[in-house]
Structure 1
Amino acid sequence: MASDERTDAVKRVVIAGASGLIGSALTAALRGRGDEVVRLVRSNPAPGDVLWDPAARRLDPAVVDGATAVVNFSGASIGRLPWTPGYKREILASRLAATSTLVTAIRAAAVAPEVFVSSSAAGFYGSRPNEDLTEDSARGTGFLSDVTAEWERTALRASDVTRVVLARSGIVVAADGVLKPLLILTRAGISGPLGGGRQHWPWVSLDDEVRAIVHLIDGGLSGPVNITGPTPATANDLMRHLASRMKRPFFLPAPAFAVAAVLGDAARDLLLVDQRPAPERLLGDGFEFRHTTVQRAVDAALRQRR
């Protein structure tokens, strides 16, 4: 059965971080199939939105009471650079505060939600050249590995009252996501290999990211789930195809030492990371990817951009 087919009655899904790239797309997909979406917002609520204050740990448990699902995307963007020591603290603190607030509300609800889908990231595995990674692989090392490990531990505090899914997403290929700075570089004709470009990037198209989360809401998986494309791809595979589609050159290398010198941990965890986590549990649960290669994911992102 396709993961985006309706399986039963209207669902009520509470989403934290619904205004971001993935949250906005998920909201549209769920509403498009007739589900009720409750967005948790910090200010200026639209009709149907609910105010919450994760920094102060405030969320009325009645908001999640009896919900089909609670989905958590809330946290400071890792795409904001540079990662100063203060911003690194914010990346971690914002995720733990939001997740802890949701877990507390879930545990206090008269009827716990059926599932809590909490965002994590492929960064859990750290940089692991030449390793085939699955959900059973041990955590790696590095800043993002430390962040995701604590993030997941916090989410799992709800596992005694509801099904908890840890969505370990890869790099989401979208015009307003990872492609945004690459589009600028490519358009300017200064695109080329980053740190050699042979490092594997854990990618996924925005469409498949959203469809996978819907699949996790509707299905029965729990624990860690890799949301990454089924075909491994290098940084060069993505960036060279983007340059080809835009009819721009791809030749100007950025040495690893130079990228790391400018961006520090952000370079090591985002651009120079070498990992290939397979979506083993999704595929085993019958999920079918629409964009099976990074080239198809780039093509889809460019079509959506128009």
Structure 2
Amino acid sequence: MRIVIGGASGMIGTALQQELRARGDEAIALVRRPARRPEERTWNPGERSLDPAHLAGADAVVNLSGASLSKLPWTRAYREEILNSRVDATATLTSALRTLAEAGDAVPTFVSGSAVGIYGDRPGETLDERSVRGDGFLADVVDRWEREARSAPAATRLALIRTGIVMGDGGAGRVLRRIARLGLAGPIGPGTQHWPWVSLRDEVAAIIHLIDGDREGVVNAVGPEPATAAEIVRAVAGAAHRPYWAPLPAPILAGVLGTGGREMLLSDQRTRPAVLESTGFEFRHHTIEAAIRSELALRA
């Protein structure tokens, strides 16, 4: 198969390219500089510029573009970047897909990145793909992001993959690993809030599962066994052979890290991967402990 990837240089995009090529697929990376390799194509999502010919003949387009959410605090300027980087990249891809459709060309499957942040803070609830959106900045961002993806032409099979915290050597996983290695791991806020997580390997496998299958609509990419913030941070500390003791009270966290700290670290989202499970997806990592041992490569 021929797969075109926006956001190919990030943690998920890099791992996805490797996995696709390992199984014999052609992975085309969209890059924001002049293309230097045969497997690269240039685009400029900030200016919504992409030659539709770069998508012609592809079996699928995967959209992983967006400014990192783990970069805290979110200043007003960075909140704009979080939103615009996602909406602009998605609009660039959907515009190119519409051009293909209008020309009568075959339109590839579109797997567009999204986030469980759309559910907001929902203590006491179990969330799945049928759950309504919640409140907050991230919920607003994801709503705009997904609405842009839904502007793809009707001929497109669209899957919106709502991802949780990805446990891998980057993003939030890297932040947690650094905290643990410094001996500063401990309860974050109450610690009882659920953090929806997924291992990097399962995230990549879920994307490929959607490429290969026929599923459309919203798909939660989260691990099958829910875990609280306390369980996740404690597991990271244990894997690093470091103590779990340094509490970060919610008022201090919210005061220092603002909106990002509240929404990323204090929101409670017990989220289920109902669609993945119903379509026969097989998780490699069923528990947060297994994901951390495999993906974070923590050593004392």
Q: TM-score range by the shorter chain?
A: over 0.9
- The equivalent residue for 2:268 is 274
- The equivalent residue for 1:155 is 149
The partner residue of 1:76 within 64, 67, 73 is: 67
Distance in structure 1 (CA, Å) of the matches to 2:63 and 2:34: 19
Give the Å deviation of 1:185: 1.8
- The equivalent residue for 2:164 is 170
- The equivalent residue for 2:229 is 235
Query: Is the CA contact (8 Å cut-off) linking 2:177 and 2:298 kept in structure 1?
Result: no
Which deviates the most, 183-192 or 269-278?
Answer: 183-192
- Is residue 26 of structure 1 aligned with residue 36 of structure 2? no
CA deviation digits over 1:224-275, x for unaligned, max 9? 1000001110011111111112221101111011100011110111111110
**Ranges of 4+ aligned residues in structure 1 off by more than 4 Å:** none
Structure-to-structure mapping, 1:186-225, within 5 angstroms: 186-225=180-219
- Is residue 43 of structure 1 aligned with residue 48 of structure 2? no
Give the Å deviation of 1:186: 1.4
Distance in structure 2 (CA, Å) of the matches to 1:219 and 1:135: 18
Distance in structure 1 (CA, Å) of the matches to 2:29 and 2:159: 19
Q: Partner of 1:158: helix, strand, or coil? A: coil
Query: Is the CA contact (8 Å cut-off) linking 1:119 and 1:169 kept in structure 2?
Result: yes
Q: TM-score, normalised by structure 1?
A: 0.94
- The equivalent residue for 1:123 is 117
- The equivalent residue for 1:300 is 294
- Is residue 244 of structure 1 aligned with residue 244 of structure 2? no
Give the Å deviation of 1:218: 0.3
Which deviates the most, 147-156 or 177-186?
Answer: 177-186
- Is residue 66 of structure 1 aligned with residue 57 of structure 2? yes
- The equivalent residue for 1:286 is 280
Query: Is the CA contact (8 Å cut-off) linking 1:175 and 1:305 kept in structure 2?
Result: no
Distance in structure 2 (CA, Å) of the matches to 1:94 and 1:300: 31
Give the Å deviation of 1:46: 2.9
Which deviates the most, 214-223 or 48-57?
Answer: 48-57
The two structures, once aligned, show a CA RMSD in angstroms of 1.4
Structure 1 residue identity aligned to 2:132: A
CA deviation digits over 1:138-163, x for unaligned, max 9? 00001110000000000011151200
Q: Which structure 1 segments of 5+ residues have no match? A: 1-10
Q: Which structure 2 segments of 5+ residues have no match? A: none
CA 1:60–1:305 in structure 2 vs 1: closer, same or farther (change >3 Å)? Answer: farther
Which deviates the most, 213-222 or 178-187?
Answer: 178-187
Q: TM-score, normalised by structure 2?
A: 0.96
Percentage identity across aligned positions? 51
The partner residue of 2:5 within 15, 39, 45 is: 15
Distance in structure 2 (CA, Å) of the matches to 1:185 and 1:53: 35
Distance in structure 2 (CA, Å) of the matches to 1:74 and 1:114: 18
Q: Partner of 1:264: helix, strand, or coil? A: helix
